């Protein structure tokens, strides 16, 4: 179901124009009354006023429509210059999971290539202000799910989202990033390299917003409905009480998707929202098994070497056992570990290196180390 064979940008002129002035709800109402965006674009004011739900905004729509021609021309030129694709509800390559949303995005700008296998997708979301442990868990879950052939969906934000995308890429899997801004205003700018990596054969980057749309906070709930809509289930890793990740979880429930939550320490701000989700009925998970068992229809064939599946812990020396016992999920400085274990500098350095090679410990900047889940 690749998206590369669809009509040119000129064929989508009226879709692009209407998307610049209408909300998803208004676009849906208009398409219910007119068979094509061209007809919708040219409809007289009085006919617009007669449509339930559009009466109050009809005059504004007509006024914007009249002045928008040069802006549409610039938009089309810039889309071509940036090498973007555009897919609409009328296109065969439009992502099928989004078609059943109450207000599907009528237009999606994209980089990369959405494929049929991407319909087997799990979203991993969480706070930007994540802990090293949270990022580690998000990356591990994404890596393990990717190893089972699932696509990872997230929102390109710093923190948990970035870790999820990175985990999928590290496993050689596919990932989808959904923007809360236009492609000319990609946010955060630190993730421009990540966007290029995803678009270079590892998945798709989507935005329903016109190119110059800023990453305003009210755009993100709209973005979140696409994240959950593209996914069979949503995993929330870390989220304080008012996190946008909780909006994604609520949208997922409204859309009939499964919601999963990774528990954390009760003293951490970043886990309060997650624990509330669990109280409200989200499934507590510890590994990918807890996710996969909710989707028997996926018929996922698990490779014998799939990461995270009944993985046997490698054999450890007494030194490595002692060291692993002293480490925590949160990173500890080399000197702290040195003091708590009573090991020599050389013994500690050797032990940490061996545990890293066995994928049991991760090193963080500043000579800090933590256990891997």
The domain over range 318-371 is classified in CATH as 1.10.10.10: yes
**What is the dotted CATH code of the domain comprising 116-298?**
3.40.50.450
> What pLDDT tens digit does each residue of the chain (373 aa) get?
455 444 467 678 889 988 988 888 888 888 888 878 888 777 777 777 777 777 677 777 777 777 777 888 899 999 999 999 999 998 989 999 999 898 899 999 999 999 999 999 999 999 888 988 899 999 999 999 999 999 999 999 999 999 999 999 999 999 999 999 999 999 999 999 999 999 999 999 999 999 999 988 888 889 999 999 999 999 999 888 877 788 888 888 888 888 999 998 888 888 888 898 888 888 999 999 999 988 876 654 444 334 444 445 678 888 888 888 888 777 888 888 988 888 888 888 888 888 888 888 888 888 888 877 6
Domain spans in the chain, listed from the N-terminal domain onward: 116-298, 318-371
Reduce the secondary structure of the chain to three states and give it as a string: CCCCCCCCHHHHHHHHHHHCCCCHHHHHHHHHHCCCHHHHHHCCHHHHHCCCCCHHHHHHHHHHHHHCHHHHHHHHHHHHHHCCEEEECCCCCCCHHHHCCCCCCCEEEEEECCCHHHHCEEEEECCCCCCHHHHHHHHHHHHHHHHCCCEEEECCCCCHHHHHHHHHHHCCCCEEEECCCCHHHCCCHHHHHHHHHHHCCCEEEEECCCCCCCCCCCHHHHHHHHHHHCCCEEEECCCCCCCHHHHHHHHHHHCCCEEEECCCCCCCHHHHHHHHHHHCCCEECCCHHHHHCCCHHHCCCCCCCCCCCCCCCCCCCHHHHHHHHHCCCCCEEHHHHHHHHCCCHHHHHHHHHHHHHCCCEEEECCCEEEECC
């Amino acid at each position: 179901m690749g998206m590369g064979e669809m009509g040119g940008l000129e064929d989508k002129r009226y879709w692009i124009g209407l998307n610049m002035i209408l909300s998803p709800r208004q676009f849906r109402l208009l398409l219910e009354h007119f068979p094509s965006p061209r007809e919708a674009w040219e409809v007289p004011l009085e006919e617009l006023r007669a449509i339930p739900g559009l009466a109050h905004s009809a005059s504004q729509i007509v006024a914007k429509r009249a002045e928008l021609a040069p802006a549409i021309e610039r938009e089309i030129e810039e889309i071509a210059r940036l090498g973007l694709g555009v897919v609409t509800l009328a296109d065969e390559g439009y992502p099928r999971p989004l078609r059943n949303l109450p207000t599907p995005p009528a237009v999606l700008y994209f980089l990369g290539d959405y494929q049929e296998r991407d319909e087997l997708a799990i979203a991993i979301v969480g706070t930007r202000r994540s802990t090293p442990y949270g990022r580690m868990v998000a990356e591990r879950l994404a890596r393990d799910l990717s190893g089972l052939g699932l696509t990872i969906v997230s929102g390109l934000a710093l923190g948990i989202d970035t870790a999820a995308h990175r985990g999928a890429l590290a496993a050689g899997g596919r990932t989808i990033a959904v923007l809360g801004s236009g492609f000319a205003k990609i946010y955060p700018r630190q993730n421009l390299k990540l966007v290029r990596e995803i678009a270079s054969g590892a998945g798709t980057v989507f935005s329903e917003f016109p190119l110059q749309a800023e990453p305003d906070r009210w755009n993100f709930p709209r973005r979140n409905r696409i994240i959950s809509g593209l996914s069979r289930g949503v995993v929330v890793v870390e989220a304080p009480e008012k996190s946008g990740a909780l909006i994604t979880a609520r949208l997922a429930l409204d859309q009939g998707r499964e919601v999963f939550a990774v528990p954390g320490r009760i003293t951490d701000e970043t886990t309060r929202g997650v624990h509330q989700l669990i109280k409200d009925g989200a499934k507590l998970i510890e590994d990918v098994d807890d996710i996969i068992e909710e989707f028997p229809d996926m018929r996922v064939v698990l490779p014998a070497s799939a990461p995270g599946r009944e993985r046997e812990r490698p054999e450890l020396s007494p030194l490595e056992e002692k060291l692993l016992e002293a480490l925590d999920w949160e990173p500890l400085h080399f000197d702290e570990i040195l003091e708590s274990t009573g090991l020599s500098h050389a013994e500690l350095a050797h032990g940490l290196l061996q545990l890293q090679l066995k994928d049991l410990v991760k090193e963080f900047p500043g000579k800090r180390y933590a256990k891997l889940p």
